[in-house]
Amino acid sequence: MTPESAIGLALGLPLLGAVGIFATGRWPNVREAITIGTALLTFFVVSSLLGGVLEGGRPELTVLQVLPGVTLAFSVEPLGMLYALVASGLWIPTALYAIGYCRSHGEENQTRFYACFAVAIFAALGIAFSRNLFTLFFFYEILTFSTYPLVTHYGSFEARKAGRTYLGILLTTSVGFFLFAILWTWHATGTLEFRPGGILAGRVEGPAVIVLLGLYVFGTGKAALMPFHRWLPAAMVAPTPVSALLHAVAIVKAGVFTVMKIIVYVFGIEFLADTGASVWLMYAASFTLLAASIIAFKKDNLKARLAYSTISQLSYIVLGGALATAAGVMGSGMHIAMHAMGKITLFFCAGAILVASHKTKVSEMDGLGRAMPFTMAAFLLGSMSIIGLPPMGGTWSKWYLALGAAEGHYAVFVGVLMVSSLLSAGYLMPVVGRAFFFAPPPKPSEDGAQGDAFAQESASPGSFFSQIQEAPLLCLVPLCATALGCIVLFFYAPAIYDLLRTMNLG
């Protein structure tokens, strides 16, 4: 199989999978087998492109010419290769988890759910492999529309309201800002192609560079930079597998990947460093980073707390790109993978807690670690990665981000990164502490009085094991696997670094 055919097959498989899912909706076992099989095949095909990219190859595939000089075309470069591996790789545990979650919860419209999920992966891979701004924008919009039915899955008033917020913010920013920036770029440069070192140097000058960068960054609403972040907490009304898709597999990673791709291949980090056009973005990202962390402290709902954590963590990636240093770009690229693995673990755990115990609030987690030790241990590992503690993958991405800030002589942003890590510990570790070190709430005794549950549980030998009530295996196994993945990424971070190092930064 040639690299060009591999690109086409990687994009085509999720679409074929979506068709197969719709066709077999009456047979759940077959439908779900198609979902898992498509996910495995897609990841295998995407992975087959890695070796060539590491050797310096940049396989391309042109589908059609839309206008003179404007094509729907694909090219695989290191940053896109990494995002494609994240999206296709995490589709596998998410598909398994979704089966366990949806069956345990008795979800309706499961066929539509799995099919839209497959289309979303198709769109994410289109974004990852986009060779130009036109292709990126085209798949960016497909991703928005394909995930709308997932956000509004329950069909309730709250879900429909969240869907309006979701579409309203993402379409307004992409059409009002992003599309305008693309047209401006085409007018100024005569091309929409991504090129190492950028395409704007000598074509756009002065304050116009700052304005154009602002249009691109705020036009990429999926990056959730404040004040265009409200869609993300609103979308938490969706089922937990959708939250995992939003926060780890495709949606928000598509946003920050788009920002990084534009910084590296449209502006160029040397151009941004020379003009100082991204300094304002460093402060905007830092504000979002810290403000979202503080808001997370106040959220008692676990998914809402994790949503604001995601907003904060996304700004790490935007900040790394805005630093316009090689180490900053490396840190941002690595954080796309590290945050994805850590955050998908946390959302898997939140869903497992809901399925097994019907608890949604942090204040209700007291003693839960005794009933769900594997889930809460996985939550601990995912939290450590988000915080940036060894031996978790998040350690390395934050290390390179701090190096990027130091390389650019921005000591203030080194401080921002350190403070944010402390804030992350402040809103994540209490969940673990309550689960493992707080006594469960008193349960009614046989005569109706309240007793000490911990004393009751400790009264008989082996009672600890009798209290374990984990979520079904199809929920539990994926979250344990991704939690271990956080550790694996710590030791395999050099492989990610070697991939990103092959980027030509100009």
What's the rounded Cα separation, in Å, for the pair 236 and 242? 8
Instruction: Output 204-213 pairs: Cβ under 8 A, ≥24 positions apart.
Output: 209/267, 209/271, 209/275, 209/277, 210/277, 210/280, 212/181, 212/184, 212/185, 213/267, 213/272, 213/277, 213/278, 213/281
Instruction: Output 404-409 pairs: Cβ under 8 A, ≥24 positions apart.
Output: 404/320, 404/323, 404/325, 404/326, 404/327, 404/328, 404/329, 404/330, 404/331, 405/323, 405/325, 405/328, 406/327, 407/323, 407/325, 407/326, 407/327, 407/328, 408/273, 408/323, 408/324, 408/325, 408/328
CA distances for 482 relative to 92, 118, 280, 372, angstroms: 11, 20, 36, 17
| pLDDT at residue 466 tops 60 | no
Give the mean pLDDT of 264-273.
Answer: 95
Four-CA torsion 301, 305, 310, 312, nearest 10 degrees: 150
Write the single-letter amino acid at 386: I
pLDDT tens string 111-161: 888 999 999 999 999 999 999 999 999 999 999 999 888 888 887 888 889
Check if the beta carbon of residue 378 is closer than 8 Å to that of residue 348: yes
Give the mean pLDDT of 241-250.
Answer: 71
CA distances for 216 relative to 115, 184, 357, angstroms: 30, 11, 43
Tokens read off for 390: 């060894």
Of 87, 8, 1, 125, nearest to 51 by C-alpha is 1
| Higher pLDDT pick, 325 / 449 | 325
Calculate ∠ Cα 317-318-322, nearest 5°. 120
- For residue 383, the model assigns a pLDDT of 96
Query: What kind and span of H or E run contains 272?
Result: helix 269-275
What's the rounded Cα separation, in Å, for the pair 338 and 327? 16
User: Where do the domains of the chain lie?
Assistant: 1-275, 278-506
Tokens read off for 310: 């995601």
- For residue 453, the model assigns a pLDDT of 42
> Per DSSP, what are the bridge partners of residue 354?
none
| pLDDT at residue 406 tops 70 | yes
What's the rounded Cα separation, in Å, for the pair 169 and 231? 7
| pLDDT at residue 232 tops 90 | no
Q: Which residues contact 160 (CB under 8 A, 6 or more apart)?
A: 152
| pLDDT at residue 454 tops 70 | no
